[in-house]
Amino acid sequence: MLESFVAEVFSSLPRSDQRVKAQLYTRGLLMDGQRKSMQPMAHRLDVDHQQLQQFITTSPWPVRPVRKALAHKAIELIGAHVWAIDDVGFPKEGVHSPGVARQYSGALG
C-alpha cells in the first residue's frame, strides 16, 4: 500500500533513485519514534542519514507536482471539505536555549 501511494504521489520525480529515496523518507516519517529528523529516521531505516538529507535539501526535484498529487490523493481519500493547514509549534524549553530567538506559534499565540 505504501509503495503504491509513494509511486502515485512521487511519480513526477525524474529519476528512479529519487523515487527510492522518497519511499524511504515517507516510510521513515510513518515509523514509530518520536524524532522525525534525518538521523533518527535513518537509524530506524538502517540507511545513511546523508542520503535522506540530500534528497530533501539539495536534490533537484519539482515540489509543485508532488504537492498537487498529494492534494488530489487527500481529496480522493477524505473528500473536498474546507481545510485549514497550519504548522504545529512546540514551546521551547527554558529561557537559555542557544540560537533560539523569540518564538511565535499560532497555536500558542
DSSP sequence for 12-59 = T-SSHHHHHHHHHHHHHHHSS-S--SHHHHHHHHTS-HHHHHHHHHTS
Residue 68 has pLDDT above 90, yes or no: yes
pLDDT of residue 81: 72
Cα 17 to chain centroid distance, Å, stands at 17
pLDDT for residue 9 is more than 80:
yes
The pTM of this model reads 0.67
Could you give phi then psi for residue 95, rounded to 5 degrees?
A: -115, 0
Instruction: Check residues 24 and 77 and name the one with the higher pLDDT.
Output: 24
For the chain, how big is the Rg over CA atoms in Å? 17
Report domain extents, the chain.
2-78
- Which pLDDT belongs to residue 35? 82
C-alpha cell at 71: 492534494
